[in-house]
Amino acid sequence: MNAALHAYCDAAKARSIQSSATVPRPALVLAATILASSLAFVDGSVVNVGLPAIGRSLGADAGALQWIINAYLLPLSALLLLGGAAGDRFGRRRLLIAGTALFALASIGCALAPGETVLLASRLLQGIGAALLMPNSLALLGQTFSGEAKGRAIGVWAATGAAAGAIGPVLGGGLIDIGSWRAIFLLNLPLAAGAILLTWRHVPRDADSSDTPLDWTGGLLVSAGLGVLTWALTVGSGQGGWTAGVTGAAVAALGLLAAFIWVEHWRGERAMMPLALFGSGRFVGLTLLTLFLYGALGTMFVLIPYLLIKVGQYGATAAGAALLPLPVVVTIASPIMGGLAGRIGSRLPLTIGPLGVAGGFLLALRIGAGASYWTDVLPAILLMAAGMGVTVAPLTTAVLNAVDPGHVGSASGFNSADARTGGLVATALLGSVLAAEGSALVSAFHTTMLVGAAACAFAGLIALVFIRVKPGGDQAVSRSNAS
C-alpha cells in the first residue's frame, strides 16, 4: 500500500506539464492513464502480502524474498526519470503502450515462473515497464487537460491510484487464500489490456519527437550503482554478513554512483537529474526527508503483513486488509492539507507529520504473537495514517515550490524516484528480519520499528531545519534559493 501514497507524490509530475493539444474525448484519456498507472500501484503493494506464500512455494530464503520486492523497485527507481525523457524523445503515447505491454508480458512470466530465477527476471522486467508507463501516463494527463480541469483530473487520477494500491492487497490476499500466489500477477492483465486499447484508440498520435539525446550513460551508471549497492546491502544484512567481498562491492557501488553524479554535472541541463536542482538547500532537505520517511514506510509495508501472517496466523486477505486505514485516511486528508499548506506554508506540516508517523512506529512495538488487531495493530496504523495525511500533500507542494519553474518537472520526477529508492534501500536491509522465526522474528520486527521511528523523527527534524519560511512565503523563498 506504499504505492497508494506514491500516487499523490507522482501527481506533481502532471501539474508541471503544459497542455499542448485539444483531445476529442479527454475522459477516455484519463481512463487510459488511470488503468496504466494502476498496474504499478497494484503490483507495488500486492506482492508484499504474497511473500510468505511465495517463499513456501518456491523454497525461497530471506535474500530471495528481498529481491522479489527490490527486483521491481530497482529499475523503477533508477529509470523513472529516463523513462520520462524517453517519452519526450520517442513519443509519450508510444512509450505508454510499450511500457504497459512489457508490464503485462512480465506479469505472465511472474505467474508462470517455475522458480525464483525466472520470477526475479520477470519482476525486473515489470520494473522497467513501470518506469516507462508511469511518467508517460502522467505526461499524457498533463498535456490533455488545462486549468481547473487539470486539477480535477489529477485529483481523480491520484485518488483512483491510491484506491488501487489499497484494494490490491485485499483482493490479492483473497486470491492467495482460495487459490495460489500466481493469480495475483494475473490481476494485471485486464488492466493492461484496457489501458492499451484506450490509449490506442483515444490518445492522439505523437507529434514530432524531440531530437535531444537521452542520458543513457547516466541511466546505466545509476542502475548499476543501485543494483550493486542493493546486492551488497541484501547480502550484508543476511546471515553471510559483511565479508570483504561484500564490502568491496558496496565501495564499488558508491564509485559508480559518484561517476553518475560526475556525468550529470558534465551533461548540465541535458542530464536525467540536473544538478541545478540541488542549488536549493530547501530541495536538498526535502530530498533527505523523503528518503528517510519513505524508507521507514517501506519496511513497515513489508513487515507488518509478513509478521501477521507468520506469527499472528492471519490469512493473506486479513493481512492485506490490516493496513487499509492508512490509504483511506491519506486520501481524505490530502486535499484538506494541500489547501492548508498553501496558506500556512509547508514547514509546520512537514515537521509534525513525520513525528506522528514516528509515534505510530513506536505504537507498533505492541504488535507481536497473539496481538489484537483492534487494540494493538489498528492504533499504530491510524497514527501513521494521520501523520502521512498531514505530510503527503504539503511535501508535494514544497517540492514544486523548491526550484525555479524550469526545473519543476525534473524536481517532481526526482522526488518520486527518491521515495522509491528509500524503500529499495530499506528493504535491502531486512535480511535478518525475514530470516527469523517465532519470537526471534517478533524481536527483530520491534528493533526495525524502533529504527523506523528514529528515521521518521529525523525526517521531521530535517523539515524544521531546512524549511525556514513565513506562512505564504514558500514560493518566493524557494525561487531565491534556486537562483
- The pLDDT of residue 141 is 83
Same domain, 265 and 328: no
Mean pLDDT value of segment 50-76: 93
Same domain, 102 and 231: no
Q: State the chain's mean pLDDT as an integer.
A: 88
Give the C-alpha separation, 233 to 240, whole Å.
11
CA distances from 295 to 57, 74, 183, 263, 452 (A): 28, 14, 28, 26, 8
- The pLDDT of residue 185 is 95
Greater confidence, 167 or 11?
A: 167
Same domain, 379 and 433: yes
pLDDT in tens, 214-264: 888 999 999 999 999 999 999 888 877 899 999 999 999 999 999 999 999
- The pLDDT of residue 303 is 95
Mean pLDDT value of segment 313-324: 92
Least confident of 4-18, 155-169, 285-299, 315-329: 4-18
Of the candidates 175, 204, 233, which is a domain's last residue?
Answer: 204
CATH classification at residue 157 = 1.20.1250.20
**Is residue 209 in a domain?**
no
Greater confidence, 409 or 399?
A: 399
**Is residue 211 in a domain?**
no
**pLDDT category of residue 371 using cuts at 50, 70 and 90:** confident
- The pLDDT of residue 469 is 56
Same domain, 45 and 153: yes
CA distances from 58 to 49, 50, 52, 74, 115 (A): 16, 12, 10, 22, 6
Same domain, 86 and 47: yes
Same domain, 255 and 116: no
- The pLDDT of residue 471 is 46
**pLDDT category of residue 428 using cuts at 50, 70 and 90:** very high
Same domain, 66 and 6: yes
- The pLDDT of residue 301 is 93
Mean pLDDT value of segment 37-60: 90
**Is residue 148 in a domain?**
yes
Is the separation of the CB atoms in 397 and 364 below 8 Å? Answer: no
Give the C-alpha separation, 161 to 191, whole Å.
12
Same domain, 95 and 12: yes
**Is residue 1 in a domain?**
yes
Least confident of 105-119, 134-148, 261-275, 383-397: 134-148
Give the C-alpha separation, 225 to 255, whole Å.
8
In this prediction the pTM is: 0.89
Number of domains making up the chain:
3
Is the separation of the CB atoms in 30 and 152 below 8 Å? Answer: no
**Is residue 72 in a domain?**
yes
pLDDT in tens, 93-142: 999 999 999 999 999 999 999 999 999 999 999 999 999 999 998 888 87
Give the C-alpha separation, 421 to 294, whole Å.
8
Residue 30, pLDDT above cutoff 50: yes
Same domain, 230 and 280: no
Give the C-alpha separation, 134 to 157, whole Å.
12
Residue 209, pLDDT above cutoff 80: no
Range(s) of the domain holding residue 298:
276-483
CA distances from 85 to 75, 226, 270 (A): 15, 20, 10
Same domain, 75 and 220: no
What is the Cα gyration radius of the chain? 21
- The residue with cell 503502450 is 97
**Is residue 210 in a domain?**
no
HSE, CB side, 13 Å, CA atoms: give it for residue 225: 19
**Is residue 191 in a domain?**
yes
**Dihedral sign, Cα of residue 203, residue 204, residue 208, residue 210:** negative
Same domain, 309 and 267: no
127, 128, 129, 132: CA torsion to nearest 10: 120
**Is residue 195 in a domain?**
yes
pLDDT in tens, 436-483: 999 999 999 999 999 999 999 999 999 999 887 544 445 433 333 333
Residue 3, pLDDT above cutoff 80: no
Same domain, 189 and 315: no
Supply the angle between the helices 281-310 and 474-482 in degrees, to the nearest 10.
110
